[in-house]
Amino acid sequence: MSPEPLPPVAPDVLAEAVEQLSARLRKKLDAAIEGCAERAARAADGSLDVRFGEDALVTLRPGPSGAVTEAGQAVCTCLLAPRCLHRAAVLGAAPLADTEGEAETGAEAGAKGEGAVDTDAVPESPEPTTGRPAPPRSDANTVTPGPAPEPSEATPPTPAQVRAATALWEAAAEALAAGVTAGGAVVQAELLRAAHTARLAGLPRAEAAALRVVRGLRAARERGRGQRLGDLAGAFRDLLSGAAPLASGTAGPGLAPARRTYGQGGSLRVYGLCREPVLSATGYGGVATHLVGPDGSRYTISDVRPGGLSRARGAGSASVALGGAVLDHAGLARGGLRIVGATVSPDGRLGAGRGVNATPLRGLDWSEEPAAALFAGPVGEAVAAALDAGAREGDAPEAALLGCDVEVVGAAGEYLVARVAGGGPLLRLRPAHPHPELPHAANLRRIAEHPGLVLRVLGRPDLDRAATLRPLAVGPVPGESYTLRLPEEWLGRADLGYDRLQGSHFPRAADAGPLAPVDAVPDPLADAPLWRVRRLLETGVAGGRRAVAEAGLGADATALLAPLRRAGLGGAAQLAEALTAEADRRPRDAFGRLTDASADGYARAWLASAVHLAAAERSLVAASWS
């Protein structure tokens, strides 16, 4: 009989269980966690049992949400309970439950496969309908959020928030110094305890960042298939860079946000742009439909719930739960709504309050305003604005939708090469979601079979890669002969995550123009020696402080620093040298005892190098779109 999956556990419950252990038992915790999941069995009353020999039985009784959210829902029969190794081991083997703090950022991460459902409450509405945030408008290629109050002057963090951020910084610094190899359950529990304190202090974004680090540490230690050291390094950078200004009492706007609020938007008209499947690593699935208002403002409506892939595939044709609207998401993506009593969050999310009423409108073609403005401006300026917005906010939000006309060059390895119309840059078109059961990749492969094809593309630029666009929808270019020929009911676009392009949707090969050979797209990120800094930072994440110190010794230091200086990257070389020196700085007294065991200096040196690397890579990404 196959073992039953363990239910999710609230982070604070796990942190409390580990904190109650003695120092002797903490040393045995990682070994005790191994194999717990394989011994889980369903009891007659529906609870889950995990047996340790003949004298200890741990029983989990999840609450109505399906998660263990209270200490009393996990009990053990041994004499040391509840301060026993068995109970802490079972809780440590279970997945972490999603929290309210993660809901603030989960919708942005959902499409990347690592987020949680957005569950923000809408005023007077038991079932909110929300979507993704949108950065501010900078040119014709991006669209602005919906009506929102004017930003007020940033208020400094409260003393409780400063204390919570200080604890979070110290826990993150110790976890970074330990690395994956030593970042076991005890180190993770310290982070979880600090994350819970941040939650109580009203720092949901800081809490979510800490939980991403813990999940990354777990996946790396378990050698998860989808885990990359680069992702974990980015999670550490986001956590440390957010906690540092809060701990110093100088937090800027957005670092200590309140829970998302919805304001009355009055009467509002919105028109569909496209649908996007949402599939998260925590088991949620659904759809986000992107909309635009008459003034170019961008809005989103999403339907994301537990269900994974099947939910993501089916939600594309599910009804839109907004003010009694009779449209489904497929119809809304090619139609429109007139909304009375609209509730709109500051980032453009539409809510389903009780007083909201919606009636369908005729949809707009991409060649009509306001949708046409998406394809009118220079792509380089739009991407540069998105990169600047991400740098100001201190984390990695999704970029706004970007539209452009391109000519297909052909397939080159794992991506499709296309050139922006009018002599623009060569772009890599990659699937917006790589899951094989979603049609993104299959549609791009079919498009690649038609070199010379002219397309209108609406997608999201990948801000971590050079000249890379992840298309969400494509359509024909007006006035071009060798372009797509889509059914009339599709209203001039195909949603690549739901619609499947067929042979009849493409023009005859005889209409194609002269074809050029497929050239490799220049990649300034791969060509620059900055990868050496990235490898150093990831080495620290994997092996901890000691591994970074060893990388700065002898020939390894020369191999690291000399190429950076030859390439004119003196700042990167200086910061990398300072990082390796700080990693190796372990002052001791005459008896060999450490006089400064704090990881604070090491964490600051690592963060300085990581922030510099991120800024340098942003500059190279922006240049690749020129």
Per residue, the 3-state secondary structure of 400-461, as one string, reads: CCEEEEEEEEEEECCEEEEEECCCCCEEEECCCCCCCCCCHHHHHHHHHCCCCCEEEEEEEE
Q: How far is Cα 516 from Cα 409, in angstroms, rounded to an integer?
A: 7
The contacts of residue 554 (CB under 8 Å, 6+ apart) are none
Nearest to 276 by CA among 469, 383, 433: 433
Structure tokens at 190: 């310290």
Nearest to 467 by CA among 426, 421, 416, 433: 426
Percent of the chain that is helix, strand, coil (3-state, to 5): 40, 20, 40
pLDDT at 31: 93
Omega before residue 135 within 30° of 0, cis: no
- Compute the residue count for the chain: 626
First-residue to last-residue Cα distance in the chain: 59
Q: Is 588 helix (H, G, I), strand (E, B) or coil?
A: strand
Q: Residue 610's CB: how many other CB atoms inside 10 A? A: 25
* Mean per-residue pLDDT of the chain: 83
By the 8 A CB rule, do 137 and 366 touch? no
* Low-confidence residues of the chain: pLDDT under 70: 1-2, 100-154, 224-227, 251-265, 282, 323-325, 353, 390-398, 510-520
Region class of 184: left (phi > 0), else alpha (psi between -120 and 50), else beta: beta
Nearest to 117 by CA among 286, 261, 254, 321: 286
Q: How far is Cα 202 from Cα 164, in angstroms, rounded to an integer?
A: 9
The contacts of residue 212 (CB under 8 Å, 6+ apart) are 114, 235, 238, 239
Structure tokens at 501: 């392009």
Identity of residue 194: A
Structure tokens at 303: 């339907």
Structure tokens at 330: 């497929």
Using CA of residue 107, residue 110, residue 114, residue 120, what is the dihedral sign?
Answer: positive
- pLDDT digit string (tens) for 546-589? 999 999 888 888 899 999 999 999 999 999 999 999 999 888 87
Region class of 75: left (phi > 0), else alpha (psi between -120 and 50), else beta: beta
Residue with token string 């676009």: 493
**What does the DSSP 8-state code read for residue 373?**
G
Angle at 206 between CA 204 and CA 208, to 5 degrees: 70
The contacts of residue 146 (CB under 8 Å, 6+ apart) are 265, 268, 293, 297, 298, 299, 344, 345, 348, 350
pLDDT at 146: 36
Question: What are the CA-CA distances from residue 555 to residues 561, 563, 582, 617 (Å)?
Answer: 10, 13, 18, 26
User: What is the layout of strands, in order, in the sheet containing 56-60?
Assistant: 40-42, 48-52, 56-60, 74-76
Phi, psi of 520 (to 5 degrees): -65, 135
Q: Residue 543's CB: how many other CB atoms inside 10 A? A: 18
pLDDT at 446: 93
Burial bucket for residue 310 (CB in 10 Å: 0-12, 13-18, 19+): exposed
Omega before residue 277 within 30° of 0, cis: no
Q: How far is Cα 11 from Cα 118, in angstroms, rounded to an integer?
A: 18
By the 8 A CB rule, do 29 and 187 touch? no
Residue 302: beta bridge partners? 288
Structure tokens at 313: 């595939």
Q: How far is Cα 197 from Cα 208, in angstroms, rounded to an integer?
A: 12
Nearest to 133 by CA among 122, 118, 121, 123: 118
By the 8 A CB rule, do 37 and 65 touch? no
Quick one: how far is CA 44 from the chain centroid? 39
What is the number of alpha carbons within 13 Å of residue 180 lying toward its C-beta?
24
- pLDDT digit string (tens) for 358-390? 888 999 999 999 999 999 889 988 898 888 876
Q: How far is Cα 496 from Cα 503, in angstroms, rounded to an integer?
A: 15
